[in-house]
């Protein structure tokens, strides 16, 4: 694979990293800013969380489509290197999710408020997505 710009797979990794961090940041700032002095059982987090998850998925798809339209020559063309990088990123994301999921599991065992369990699980998903994307970006940048 020659020089030039980013492959479509690397662009997709950047898109998921930026969208994942951006949407989660908006969600957590919005919802966690209500925590001080509040009864967390009264904080309406379900709808904002569902909106954040939907927005992350929707934005990721839309931005990936726009990126593919903007550079159609390499859209959808993945070589063996792309597949190996994707596999490694997903592998790391799986382990991050597996480890991060221990927090909501412990919170559930401690009978913590649903608010904390749900938010810890959402954060685990975000961390896994971002870790997977960062690993892919680093492998593209440093070579694989």
pLDDT digits (tens, 9 = 90+) for 99-116: 999 999 999 999 999 999
Percent of the chain at pLDDT > 90 equals 69
pLDDT score of 129: 94
Q: What is the four-CA torsion angle of 110, 112, 117, 123, rounded to 10 degrees?
A: -90
> What average pLDDT does the segment 82-91 reach?
92
Write the pLDDT tens digit of every residue in 31-66: 999 999 989 989 999 999 999 999 999 998 998 888
Write the pLDDT tens digit of every residue in 59-86: 989 988 887 787 766 656 668 888 899 9
d(C-alpha 89, C-alpha 84), whole Å:
9
Token pair for residue 11?
A: 């662009």
pLDDT of 1 above 90: no
- Angle formed at CA 127 by CA 91 and CA 110, multiple of 5 degrees: 110
Q: Which residues of 26-39 are buried (b: 16+ CB within 10 A; e: fewer)?
A: ebbeebeeeeeeee
**Single pTM value for the model:** 0.86
d(C-alpha 23, C-alpha 27), whole Å:
6
- 3-state DSSP call for residue 42? helix
User: Domains of the chain: which residue ranges?
Assistant: 8-142
Could you identify the residue written with the tokens 């990123």?
Answer: 89
């Amino acid at each position: 694979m020659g020089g030039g710009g980013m492959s479509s797979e690397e662009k997709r990794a950047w898109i998921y990293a930026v969208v994942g961090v951006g949407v989660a940041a908006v969600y957590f700032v919005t919802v966690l800013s209500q925590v001080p002095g509040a009864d967390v059982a009264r904080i309406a987090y379900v709808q904002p969380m569902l909106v954040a998850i939907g927005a992350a998925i929707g934005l990721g798809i839309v931005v990936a489509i726009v990126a593919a339209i903007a550079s159609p020559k390499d859209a959808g063309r993945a070589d063996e290197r792309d597949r190996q990088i994707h596999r490694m990123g997903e592998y790391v994301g799986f382990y991050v999710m597996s480890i991060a999921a221990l927090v909501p599991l412990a919170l559930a065992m401690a009978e913590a408020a649903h608010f904390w369990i749900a938010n810890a699980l959402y954060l685990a998903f975000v961390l896994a997505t971002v870790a997977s994307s960062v690993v892919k970006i680093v492998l593209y940048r440093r070579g694989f």
